[in-house]
């Protein structure tokens, strides 16, 4: 059966300028679609803009234009951005489209007919400037908890969707995985929320307060609550062009169920969304669907936040990174690679331009780009610029790299390759990218070990076998990275004339400029100096270690004072455990918060100062070495129940330790 994916992003508020949170979500959805297609699957990718509501109305009033004029000017900032980031949605939807208005009005009328919408008068504390109600509990000494101004008691009639009726059915959908929520901890969050009685949802706003919205077809004094309107975009995109509802024909569901695109795509829907809009997607939306007699969404992929200086990037804080600047400085491929490599799906990650530069220079310029450049250069010098044939059995290292490449291709080609599926708590998408970069490192290792540039003088056949094998490996890597870096991957394949994924010996290679130019990052030097000075300083005070960096004095590791007896060693509980989640710690540059399964039933929280050198995505789903019997220690207001053990590389950067193959979680290292 063909693998199908209907992938959606949130529809973005048109009033905001696109920021990297929006760019990340759209790039993620695009990459999921591309990975599905790489595997022979079919995809439909939807994004768009959310154009109704208070903020739009106010902004338009301020400018002295109509809300429609306002949104018509703004939506293209989003629509025009996506192709420049190599995102190729099949449909860009706007909630002001007549087709969408008709869907929303039909849904409202159908639910009204079914007795699932009713009007009620409620009383609450109203903040006039903020134009919103607060409950008794929320107000602070008679003032608005948001702006601090006095609130007034107000009565208002409104329309309510009887959401509470679907509580049990929703719990069942989440528990059985009928609606899968990725990552799993978010499903628990939703189930936790559903332990309290579910309230009915107010789905109207009186026009006297807000007129910019979709009118309720059965009560013209009201417009629809903006979320009720916005969520329905996901079905509008699959609906036929429906006329406005009339007294005779005003239902929605029959038109959807009988419509081929809806039948084809709806069972395969995956909504990508940020964790801040989980309740709307995991509670409001499925209950709306259930009420309409439609299936709940198949899957919700909840993404974390990009943090900057450890706070969520947001317009009000003013720390928003402009995706246009990022794109223009580094190009869309590097930007996409950074986003998808650096953030584990579902977890928060820190954004810094320095990290973009580091990824670009290390992974892309040094490892990937330089590899192709060197190999093409060697073929130009020694084989007339043609792809040499493999004429000998491969060396041991080459055979290992090629077997690994084959393994990655086989994994990708399975019938049910699901880029969002989570295996050992790591999204498949992240693992594929990380594994492909391991292949690239292995290929660089082949060049170092087999040294074809030297061998060509003495054993031309060995050299050409190496170059052929490495080129073959680069073709595999380029194919597997195509969903992440469409243009760079296509260019790599073009230079090897292997656009169809097949390397043909004898074909002329095409030379070109380096694919990933290096970038300078001034701060990088300062950072290096900072981390390099630390081990020395620590050793100087403790008086142990190999060398005192301040005095230069050298002490042998085996000096008697450093020896311990076996009992002393045996008191340390060194254990291997699986990293279930990893995320940056607020207000800390260095710390990661890890949840590690040590086979104790509950995972342990361990804080580790490795955030600057190890991205969380490199840890999740891997086993790591920890010392498990240290007393708990407070760090940044959180308890750490153990310590991650790391080595340091030549530059003083920390490297976690993984076992050569999987072992039971919690096993003692002796
Ligand atoms: O919520 N890092 O729209 P929106 C990562 N219109 N993602 C971020 C982020 C950050 N720093 N800041 C925001 C809406 N986002 C509604 C959606 S869908 C029917 C209606 C993400 O423009 C945020 O989590 O405010 C959300 O998923 C998305 O940007 C859209 O935000």
Q: What is the pLDDT of residues 344-393, one digit of tens each?
A: 988 999 898 889 999 999 999 999 999 999 999 999 999 999 999 999 99
The residue to which tokens 């990824």 are assigned: 359
Mean pLDDT over 213-238 rounds to 97
- 307 vs 319, 503, 615, CA distance in Å? 9, 42, 13
Round to whole Å and give the CA distance between 657 and 646.
Answer: 6
- 267 vs 63, 128, 144, 301, CA distance in Å? 43, 44, 44, 15
CA of 420 relative to ligand 1 center, distance in Å: 19
Residue 655 has pLDDT above 80, yes or no: yes
Round to whole Å and give the CA distance between 127 and 138.
Answer: 12
Q: CB of 164 within 8 A of CB of 200? A: yes
CA of 226 relative to ligand 1 center, distance in Å: 15
Least confident of 283-292, 484-493, 549-558, 633-642: 549-558
Q: Whose CA is nearest to atom 12 of ligand 1?
A: 21
Q: Whose CA is nearest to atom 19 of ligand 1?
A: 231
Round to whole Å and give the CA distance between 97 and 48.
Answer: 11
Report the percent of the chain where pLDDT is more than 90: 69
Q: CB of 57 within 8 A of CB of 211? A: yes
Ligand 1 closest atom vs CA 273: 27
Closest by CA to 376, choosing from 468, 451, 500, is 468
Is residue 285 lining ligand 1, measured as CB closer than 6 Å?
A: no
Q: CB of 265 within 8 A of CB of 238? A: yes
Mean pLDDT over 398-427 rounds to 78
Mean pLDDT over 397-405 rounds to 97
Q: In the prediction, which pLDDT does 538 show?
A: 31
Q: Whose CA is nearest to atom 8 of ligand 1?
A: 21
b/e sequence 47-62, b meaning 16+ C-beta within 10 Å: bbbbbbbbebbebbee
- The helix or strand, by DSSP H or E, that contains position 283, with its residue range, turns out to be none
Least confident of 216-225, 253-262, 441-450, 616-625: 616-625
CA of 12 relative to ligand 1 center, distance in Å: 7
In this predicted model, what pLDDT tens digit does every residue of 583-626 receive, in sequence order? 888 888 889 999 999 988 888 999 999 998 888 888 988 899 99
CA of 364 relative to ligand 1 center, distance in Å: 29
Alpha helices per DSSP H over 560-601: 566-570
Alpha helices per DSSP H over 296-367: 323-330, 332-342, 353-359
Is residue 53 lining ligand 1, measured as CB closer than 6 Å?
A: no
- The helix or strand, by DSSP H or E, that contains position 67, with its residue range, turns out to be helix 67-79
Round to whole Å and give the CA distance between 628 and 643.
Answer: 7
CA of 272 relative to ligand 1 center, distance in Å: 10
In this predicted model, what pLDDT tens digit does every residue of 317-348 receive, in sequence order? 667 788 888 899 999 999 999 999 999 988 99
Three-class secondary structure of residue 105 per DSSP: helix
Is residue 636 lining ligand 1, measured as CB closer than 6 Å?
A: no
Total-model pTM = 0.81
Round to whole Å and give the CA distance between 259 and 278.
Answer: 29
- 487 vs 481, 483, 513, CA distance in Å? 10, 9, 14
b/e sequence 603-625, b meaning 16+ C-beta within 10 Å: bbbbbbbbbbbbbbbbbbbbbbb
Residue ranges with strand state E in 463-561: none
CA of 23 relative to ligand 1 center, distance in Å: 10
Is residue 22 lining ligand 1, measured as CB closer than 6 Å?
A: yes
pLDDT band at 415 (very low <50, low <70, confident <90, very high): low
Average pLDDT in the chain: 89
In this predicted model, what pLDDT tens digit does every residue of 124-162 receive, in sequence order? 899 887 778 888 889 999 999 988 999 999 899 999 999
Mean pLDDT over 527-531 rounds to 34
Ligand 1 closest atom vs CA 285: 19
Structure tokens at 288: 């709306």
Round to whole Å and give the CA distance between 243 and 364.
Answer: 52
Round to whole Å and give the CA distance between 455 and 388.
Answer: 14
Mean pLDDT over 539-563 rounds to 37
Is residue 10 lining ligand 1, measured as CB closer than 6 Å?
A: yes
Is residue 603 lining ligand 1, measured as CB closer than 6 Å?
A: no
Is residue 67 lining ligand 1, measured as CB closer than 6 Å?
A: no
Q: Whose CA is nearest to atom 14 of ligand 1?
A: 12
CA of 51 relative to ligand 1 center, distance in Å: 14
- The helix or strand, by DSSP H or E, that contains position 270, with its residue range, turns out to be strand 269-274
Residue 168 has pLDDT above 50, yes or no: yes
First-residue to last-residue Cα distance in the chain:
49
Peptide bond into 171 cis (omega under 30): no
Q: In the prediction, which pLDDT does 426 show?
A: 56
CA of 340 relative to ligand 1 center, distance in Å: 17
Mean pLDDT over 161-182 rounds to 96
Is residue 277 lining ligand 1, measured as CB closer than 6 Å?
A: yes
Indicate the top mutation candidate among 8, 10, 53, 104 to test ligand 1's pocket, ranked by most ligand atoms within 8 A of CB.
10
Is residue 313 lining ligand 1, measured as CB closer than 6 Å?
A: yes
Q: In the prediction, which pLDDT does 562 show?
A: 61
Is residue 41 lining ligand 1, measured as CB closer than 6 Å?
A: no
Question: How many of the other CB atoms lie within 10 Å of CB of 665?
Answer: 17
Alpha helices per DSSP H over 451-459: 452-458
* Residue 124 C-alpha from the chain's centroid: 39
Q: Whose CA is nearest to atom 3 of ligand 1?
A: 12
- 182 vs 428, 542, 643, CA distance in Å? 12, 46, 28
pLDDT band at 442 (very low <50, low <70, confident <90, very high): very high
pLDDT band at 571 (very low <50, low <70, confident <90, very high): confident
Q: In the prediction, which pLDDT does 4 show?
A: 92
Q: In the prediction, which pLDDT does 232 show?
A: 98
Q: CB of 278 within 8 A of CB of 250? A: no
Q: Whose CA is nearest to atom 23 of ligand 1?
A: 274
Q: In the prediction, which pLDDT does 49 show?
A: 98
Q: In the prediction, which pLDDT does 42 show?
A: 94
Indicate the top mutation candidate among 230, 231, 276 to test ligand 1's pocket, ranked by most ligand atoms within 8 A of CB.
276
Is residue 231 lining ligand 1, measured as CB closer than 6 Å?
A: yes
Handedness of CA 453, 454, 457, 458 (dihedral sign): negative
Is residue 312 lining ligand 1, measured as CB closer than 6 Å?
A: yes
């Amino acid at each position: 059966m063909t693998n199908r994916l209907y992938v959606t992003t949130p529809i973005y508020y048109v009033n905001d300028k696109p920021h990297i949170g929006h760019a990340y979500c759209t790039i993620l959805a695009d990459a999921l679609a591309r990975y599905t297609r790489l595997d022979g699957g079919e995809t439909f990718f939807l994004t768009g803009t959310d154009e109704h509501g208070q903020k739009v109305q106010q902004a338009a009033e301020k400018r002295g234009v109509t809300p429609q004029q306002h949104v018509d000017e703004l939506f293209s900032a989003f629509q025009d951005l996506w192709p420049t980031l190599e995102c190729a949605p099949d449909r860009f939807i706007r909630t002001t489209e007549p087709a969408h208005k008709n869907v929303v009005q039909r849904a409202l009328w159908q639910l009204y007919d079914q007795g699932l919408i009713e009007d009620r008068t409620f009383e609450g504390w109203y903040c006039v400037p903020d134009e919103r109600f607060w409950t008794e509990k929320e107000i602070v000494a008679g003032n608005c908890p948001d702006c601090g101004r006095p609130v007034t008691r107000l009565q208002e009639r409104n329309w309510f969707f009887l959401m509470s009726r679907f509580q049990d059915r929703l719990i069942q959908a989440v528990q059985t995985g009928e609606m899968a929520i990725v990552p799993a901890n978010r499903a628990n969050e939703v189930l936790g929320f559903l332990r309290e009685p579910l309230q009915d949802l107010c789905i109207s706003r009186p026009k006297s307060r807000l007129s910019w919205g979709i009118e309720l077809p059965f009560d013209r004094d009201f417009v629809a609550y903006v979320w009720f309107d916005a969520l329905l975009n996901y079905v509008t995109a699959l609906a036929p062009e429906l006329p406005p509802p009339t007294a005779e024909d005003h239902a929605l569901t029959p038109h959807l169920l009988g419509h081929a695109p809806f039948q084809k795509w709806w069972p395969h829907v995956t909504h990508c969304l940020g964790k801040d809009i989980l309740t709307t997607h995991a509670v409001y939306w499925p209950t709306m669907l259930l009420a309409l007699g439609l299936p709940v969404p198949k899957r919700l992929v909840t993404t974390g936040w990009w943090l900057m200086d450890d706070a969520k990037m947001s317009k009000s804080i003013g720390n928003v990174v402009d995706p246009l600047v990022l794109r223009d400085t580094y190009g869309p491929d590097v930007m996409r690679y950074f986003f998808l490599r650096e953030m584990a799906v579902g977890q928060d990650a820190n954004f810094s331009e320095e990290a973009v530069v580091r990824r670009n220079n290390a992974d892309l310029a040094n490892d990937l780009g330089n590899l192709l450049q060197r190999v093409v250069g060697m073929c130009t010098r020694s084989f007339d610029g043609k792809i040499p044939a493999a004429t000998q059995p491969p060396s041991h290292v080459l055979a290992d790299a090629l077997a690994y490449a084959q393994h990655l291709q086989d994994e990708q080609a399975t019938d049910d390759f699901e880029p969002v599926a989570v295996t050992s708590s790591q999204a498949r998408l992240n693992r594929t990218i990380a594994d492909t970069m391991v292949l690239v490192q292995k290929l660089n290792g082949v060049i170092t070990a087999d040294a074809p540039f030297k061998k060509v003088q003495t054993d031309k056949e060995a050299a050409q076998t190496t170059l052929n094998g490495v080129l073959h490996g680069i073709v595999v890597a380029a194919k597997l990275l195509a969903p992440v870096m469409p243009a760079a991957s296509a260019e790599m394949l073009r230079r090897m004339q292997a656009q169809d994924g097949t390397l043909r010996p004898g074909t002329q290679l095409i030379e070109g400029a380096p694919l990933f130019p290096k970038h300078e990052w001034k701060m990088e030097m300062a950072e290096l100096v900072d981390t390099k000075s630390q081990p020395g300083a620590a050793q100087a005070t403790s008086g142990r270690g190999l060398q005192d960096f301040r005095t230069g004095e050298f002490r042998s590791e085996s000096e008697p004072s450093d020896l311990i007896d076996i009992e002393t060693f045996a008191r340390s509980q060194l254990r291997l455990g699986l990293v279930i989640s990893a995320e940056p710690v607020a207000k800390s540059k260095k710390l990661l918060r890890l949840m590690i399964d040590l086979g104790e039933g509950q995972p342990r929280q361990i804080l580790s100062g490795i955030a600057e050198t190890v991205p969380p995505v490199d840890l999740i789903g891997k086993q790591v070495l920890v010392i498990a019997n240290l007393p708990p220690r407070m760090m940044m207001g959180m308890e750490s129940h153990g310590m991650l053990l790391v080595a340091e590389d030549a530059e003083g950067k920390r490297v976690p330790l993984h076992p050569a193959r999987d072992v039971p979680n919690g096993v003692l290292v002796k």
